Amino acid sequence: MSNRKLNIGYMFILLGSIALLACGDRPSARSIPRQDQPSTSSTNTTPSKAPEIEGVYEFVSRTTTITAPRRSEERLVAPEWYGLWIFHNGYFSQTRMKNIRPDWTPAQFPSNPQGLGFDGGSGTYVIKGETIELDYHVNFYPGRMSAVEDLKYSLDASTLTLTWTMVPGPEFGSTGERVTVLRRIK
């Protein structure tokens, strides 16, 4: 892939993130849980303010370990994969893209969307102790729209680690764990 195509891809990702963040203080028809508002989830944990997580992070790695029905492991790492996560004022945006992606047209969409080498989503987040709850309002995968993920997180200096415990469901039929490592850049 040429550097020009890569730069154009990052431009669209950045513009989408800026648009999400610029709309952050505007009211919407959807109730948006913020760090300073009570969560509407079923747990009775009161969200805490955690401004230390706010910022821009670059993708370092993602390791998915499947424990059932069949044990496997997948590891995505930089610089083969690029990505940004942005956390700001109760909103988040995340994108990840493979450095070299196959050319395709809508008529030749791969049967496995992961083959596109792209993933992205955005929405709101709430911190609850050592857990961050991500509520996806937008997602590359249509089945993930309105999905809520509870991830354990740890922030050590400039490294943010997000751990998601996978349970079988309509989208994922496996159990296991996915660990994403990010490095703060701003």
pLDDT of residue 50: 52
pLDDT of residue 126: 96
pLDDT of residue 116: 77
> Could you tell me what percent of the chain has a pLDDT over 90?
47
Please name the CATH architecture into which domain 3-26+48-100+114-184 falls: Beta Barrel (2.40)
- Residues of the chain predicted below pLDDT 50: 1-15, 18-49
Distance CA 150, CA 131 (A): 6
> Which whole-number Å values give the CA distances from 95 to 82, 98, 120, 149, in the listed order?
8, 10, 4, 16
Domain ranges of the chain: 3-26+48-100+114-184
What tokens appear for 184 in the block?
């703060």
Q: Where are the beta strands (DSSP E) in 24-174?
A: 55-68, 72-77, 81-88, 91-98, 118-128, 131-139, 148-156, 159-166
pLDDT of residue 114: 65
The 10s digit of each residue's pLDDT in 109-123 is 766 666 778 889 999
pLDDT of residue 185: 96
pLDDT of residue 49: 47
What tokens appear for 71 in the block?
């044990």
- For residue 153, the cross-strand partners are 162
Pairing of the two strands 55-68 and 175-184: antiparallel
Which secondary-structure segment (H or E) carries 18?
A: helix 3-22
pLDDT of residue 106: 75
